[in-house]
Amino acid sequence: MGYCPFVMQRREDLFGPTVNDFNPMRWATWTPVPWTYIPFNGGPRICLGQNFALTEMAYATARMCQVFERIEERSGLKRGEVGYRSDIVLSPLNGVKVGLIPVQRSEKNWD
The model's pTM: 0.64
Residue of higher predicted confidence among 20 and 46: 46
Can you tell me the distance from the alpha carbon of 8 to that of 23, in angstroms, rounded to the nearest whole number?
A: 19
pLDDT tens digits, residue range 57-102? Answer: 999 999 999 999 998 989 888 877 778 888 777 888 888 899 999 9
pLDDT tens digits, residue range 22-40? Answer: 888 877 887 777 777 788 8
Between the two ends of the chain, the Cα-to-Cα distance in Å is 52
Residue of higher predicted confidence among 19 and 55: 55
Got the DSSP string for 24-68?
GGGGSS--PPTTTS-TT--GGG--TTHHHHHHHHHHHHHHHHHHE
